[in-house]
Structure 1
Amino acid sequence: MPLDSALKAASLCLAGLLPLQVLAVQAQTEQETKAVTQASTNSGINDGPYLFLNPKADMADWICEGEHKQTRVDQGKLSRPEHCGKLPEPNLNPQAKEVLADSYQGVDKIVALSDVHGQYEVLLQLLRRHKIIDQDNNWAFGKGHMVMTGDMFDRGPQVNEVLWFMYKLDKQAKAAGGQLHLLMGNHEQMVMRGDLRYVNDKYQTVSKLLDRPYDALYGQDSELGQWLRSKHTIVKINDTLFLHGGISQEWVDRGLTLARANSLYRENIDKSKAELKQDELLNFLFFGNGPTWYRGYFKPDFDTQELANILDYFKVKRIVVGHTSQTRVLGLFDNRVLAIDSSIKKGLSGELLLIEKDQLIRGQYDGSQTPL
């Protein structure tokens, strides 16, 4: 009950004009009205599944029309409850958390995209139109490699759908002789350490309904959390380096290897910002000029000799990066830097990069393809 209403009612009680019982009824009525209003606000929210592995992974959590529900995991299958929209019903993958190689040769075709930020429908449309997936959203890229250079989290309203979809493709690609490379971006790192500034409002409500902080929904005790923590931040495929932000001269000066950096990312991703900044190397890797934040290639004073040094250091022809938004897939410095953050996060359209043999192709949202 608002303070002024409560004081007025109390004064009437003291004057003998309003029984105390009526005051209690008024307070209860207002509480019930607030609860109904809140339930109505939440009624359109469907989300999940979330699978937590402690003490055992036998129940999946869902939000269905604003209510918390659970279903039993049946032989590795997560089936959604009734009246829960079209949420994913994933099959668990026992090999999902395997740490794979970070360098590959002899790959005939590659597709890369970035910064989906919870825009699930745009992602599906783009992949379907370029026949990376079929009409049932299953892997159709054969022995090809697909690279997602980070930032699936934050901003958009269907982050969990994106994650379970990529979880499924991870298994299907391997079965077909291909590979999915899911790279960690700065927004994955932010969520893991509890920096939730960019989380969509829907997930603030989901967090309350599940009674867990949002970052804990993807904690070390969750199926998706363990899967994400097994992934690399940088991979090298043929003569191309893939990552979220970019490689700076500082990396070269430090003499870092892919193996060491990827290992350090996995080992330290759950540390707080303060903890990371106490260590000079971790401060570089996770912030500033590090690979998930660097934007140097897009500055007017960028020194192309620095780029030559970096390419020579990794023995590659080009670097593919997301993180810095463009309106299309863009080639810089004679295609030695390929920018693939095509603003999918706006939820309107997007593009992807195709590499076939040594041909670079811009895959547009309508399914057309143009040499880069």
Structure 2
Amino acid sequence: MTSSDGGKLTHGDGTSTHPKRLAEIAAQSITAPVYRRRSFVRGCREGSATKMAAFSLNSLPVPPSKHQKAADCSHVNGVLKPIVVTGNPPTFVSAPGRRIVAVGDLHGDLAQTRCALELAGVLSPDGQDLWIGGETILVQLGDILDRGEDEIAILSLLRSLNIQAKSDGGAVFQVNGNHETMNVEGDFRYVDHGAFDECIDFLEYLNEHEGNWKDAFVGWINVCERWKENRRMSQNYWNPWNLMKRQKGIIARSTLLRPGGPLACELAQHAVVLKVDDWIFCHGGLLPHHVAYGIERMNKEVSHWMQGFSEDDDYSPEIPFIATRGYDSVVWNRLYSRDSADRKYQSWQISSIVEEALQAVGAKGMVVGHTPQFNGVNCRYNQRIWCIDVGMSSGVLNSRPEVLEIKDNKARVLRNQSYLFDELEVMDYL
């Protein structure tokens, strides 16, 4: 047995382990799990990490805290202060007092994406793709690419919503996941055949706009369904055995997503780690050695690589290893999101790593995606880690969308309208 006292871990034999020693554990390779479809039983997880409080609409309110008082100070004459963004790509966001909603992996499923955004209260339900979130902050946790056929459409939708949100005092942020970095690297193993077709169509659409990237990219969401329908009516509709068509799709995708390609440069505008007020958002998970390396440094290195920048013109841009390669990198790490039966380490060890990483970056909680949660959105490790990838894409688990809402020092798991909203009290952090 072990106990924790002020960050010091004491074992049953009287010996103790300094939390920094545990950072080495996170640097070891973690084997990616094999996903299996299971029946869905929603509710609160009772893992070895921590037993969560029961979900209840009648839970007692949290007493006023320092965190809530700080949010109150964000209002000036009843108006929220402007959002302040630091870093390029955006790394630190100051938006106190605002509602934050986080959406997990989307994997090319436009229909499920719209369902999730409507559930989050930021997308109009009339099919017009209008922002109705007001001053809400929307964060999408990456893995828009692969396993589905509407990848560019989803990226276009999020860009359009961000433009609309800014005029209302809100904002849309994205972080890149491992499937974004894989595609920029040229790894197309998980690309849906319809996504190859979308790349071909979008390049033609871009040419119609005479290379005007912004107009074509933002406008794609409005015409993508028509292009898809025309494609399906064509006699040359995709056949997996049509090698010439497949090669054309690969060339189109490479043109868009190679380092320096237009879509890669679009992805380069997004971070791999984002801090919004007291919350960290990343695809896989932030570890202590990532913080020591530097969050803004990692974001810049990934962005420069995607844009095709190289210190030596005779060589291709170098892939940032610490952020994008290896199972302990920011986009591949599963240490926080694996099921207890799959973990190699005890919960107290992982809890110590979580605390060290969050303290180093000055955050109170972390939201991650990457690993589908068969029982829905859940929190772990003293409510410090929220795992929100539910595998909603039809290319993954086709599960019902779920969204995490953070507001007034409380986090709620929002599920579809046929279910009551589940509310979970978040710890009052000092």
TM-score (norm 1): 0.66
Report how far residue 269 of structure 1 moved: 3.1
Gaps of 5+ in 1: 1-97
Aligned residue in 2 for 1:364: 415
* Alpha-carbon distance in structure 2 between the residues aligned to 1:307 and 1:244: 15
Whose radius of gyration is greater, 1 or 2? Answer: 1
* Maintained 8 Å contact 1:219/1:226: no
* Aligned residue in 2 for 1:343: 391
* Change over 3 Å in CA distance of 1:151–1:308 after alignment to 2: same
Trace 1:156-305 onto structure 2 (pairs within 5 A): 156-205=148-197, 207=200, 208=245, 212-219=251-258, 224-252=263-291, 255-269=292-306, 282-288=320-326, 289-297=328-336, 298=338, 299=343, 301-302=345-346, 303=349, 304-305=351-352
Q: 1:102·1:234 contact (CA, 8 Å) conserved in 2?
A: no
**Equivalent of residue 137 in structure 1, options 129, 132, 152:** 129
Q: Is the 8 A contact 2:414 2:422 kept in 1?
A: yes
Amino acid in structure 1 at the alignment position of 2:116 = L
- Describe the superposition over 1:297-318 as per-residue Cα deviations: whole angstroms up to 9, x where unpaired: 2325151111111111011111
> Is 2:184–2:257's contact at 8 Å kept on the other side of the alignment?
yes
Where has structure 1 moved over 6 Å in runs of 4 or more?
A: 275-279
Q: Is residue 368–residue 387 contact of structure 2 (8 Å, CA) maintained in 1?
A: yes
1:106 aligns with 2:96: yes
What is the letter of the counterpart of residue 233 of structure 1?
Answer: V
State the alpha-carbon separation in 1 of the partners of residues 113 and 140 from structure 2. 11
* Distance change >3 Å, CA 127–CA 311, structure 1 → 2: same
- Tell me the CA shift for residue 222 of structure 1: 5.8
- Residue type of the partner of 1:287? R
Paired with 2:115 and 2:144, the residues of 1 have a C-alpha distance of: 16
Equivalent pair of 1:119/1:156 in contact (CA under 8 Å): yes
Measured against aligned partners, the alpha-carbon deviations of 1:332-353 in whole angstroms (never above 9, x if no partner) come to 1121000010111233422110
d(CA) in 2 for partners of 1:146 and 1:113?
8
Task: Report the CA distance between 1:218 and its aligned residue.
Answer: 3.7
| In structure 1, C-alpha distance between the alignment counterparts of 2:367 and 2:390, rounded to whole Å | 13
Q: Is there any run of 5+ residues in structure 2 with no aligned partner, and where? A: 1-87, 201-244, 309-314, 425-430
Contact 2:150 / 2:195 at 8 angstroms: preserved in 1? Answer: no
Matched letter for residue 296 of structure 1: L
Measured at CA, do residues 337 and 101 of structure 1 come closer, stay the same or move farther in structure 2, by a change above 3 Å?
Answer: closer
Distance change (3 Å), C-alpha of 1:276 and 1:183? farther
Q: Check conservation: 2:91, 2:295, Cα contact below 8 A.
A: no
**3-state secondary structure, aligned to 1:128:** helix
Q: Which structure is richer in relative contact order (CA contacts within 8 A, separation 6 or more)?
A: 2
Contact 2:89-2:299 at 8 Å conserved across structures: no
Q: CA deviation at 1:99?
A: 4.2
Map of 2:380 onto structure 1: 332
**Secondary structure at the residue paired with 2:251?**
coil
Distance, in Å, in 2 between the alignment partners of 1:237 and 1:369 is 24
Q: After superposition, what is the alpha-carbon deviation per residue over 1:268-313, rounded to whole angstroms, capped at 9, x for unaligned?
A: 2367xxx99988xx32221221110111123251511111111110
Q: Number of residues paired by the alignment?
A: 269
The amino acid that maps onto 1:258 is: I
Give secondary structure in 1 for the equivalent of 2:280. Answer: strand
Deviations 1:15-54 (A, max 9, x none): xxxxxxxxxxxxxxxxxxxxxxxxxxxxxxxxxxxxxxxx
Offset at 1:251? 2.0
Residue 324 of structure 2 aligns with an amino acid whose one-letter code is F
Residue deviations 1:79-107, cap 9 Å, x none? xxxxxxxxxxxxxxxxxxx8445332414
Q: Who is 1:79 aligned against?
A: none
CA distance in 2, matches of 1:241, 1:133: 24
- Whole-angstrom distance in 2 between the partners of 1:130 and 1:172: 16
Q: TM-score, normalised by structure 2?
A: 0.58
Cα distance in 1, alignment partners of residues 262 and 410 from structure 2: 37
Q: Alpha-carbon deviation of 1:261? A: 1.3
Deviations along 1:225-267, one digit per CA (max 9) or x if unpaired, are 4322111111111111000000123324xx2222111111101
Q: 1:240 to 1:156 in 2, by over 3 A?
A: same
Picking from 342, 355, 361, the partner of 2:406 is 355
The residue identity in structure 1 corresponding to 2:106 is: V
Q: Is the 8 A contact 2:142 2:177 kept in 1?
A: yes
Percent identical among aligned pairs is 24
For 1:352 and 1:116, how far apart are their aligned partners in 2?
12
Q: Structure 1 residues 358, 269: CA separation in 2 closer, same or farther (over 3 Å shift)? A: same
Distance 1:259 1:284 in 2: 13
Secondary structure at 1:212 match in 2:
helix
Aligned-residue Cα RMSD (Å) equals 2.6
> Aligned-pair distance for 1:108?
1.7
From 306, 312, 322, the equivalent of 2:353 is 306
Taking the TM superposition and a 5 Å limit, the aligned residue runs for 1:136-155 are 136-155=128-147
